[in-house]
Amino acid sequence: MARITRARMNAEADYLENVAATRSDRAAVSGEQAATDPKNSQHTRACAARAAESARNHAAEYRDMAAELRAGEIPEGFRFE
């Protein structure tokens, strides 16, 4: 098994913070907008609200994983590809 360098861990943390979490934040905003759009059906608004919540949770998870990587830990279930 190859040794994972600190530089690689920091690069992965940068990706999680700057790409993955940001993308999830944008998805959450989109979902929140759809959830409050009166043109959408009640069902669509409810689904959009759940999707926005899920996206916010993903963003938080990505930031938590990035913090673990920066601390020199490998988050549970994280795979270096």
For the segment 6-64, what is each residue's pLDDT rounded down to a tens digit?
A: 999 999 999 999 999 999 999 999 999 999 999 999 999 999 999 999 999 999 999 99
> Rounded to whole angstroms, how far apart are CA atoms 72 and 14?
14
User: What pLDDT band is residue 5 in, cutting at 50, 70 and 90?
Assistant: very high
The H-or-E segment that residue 64 falls in is helix 42-70
pTM over 0.85: yes
Per-residue CA distances from 63 to 42, 53, 75 (Å)? 32, 16, 11
Rounded (10°) CA dihedral 47, 48, 54, 59: 170
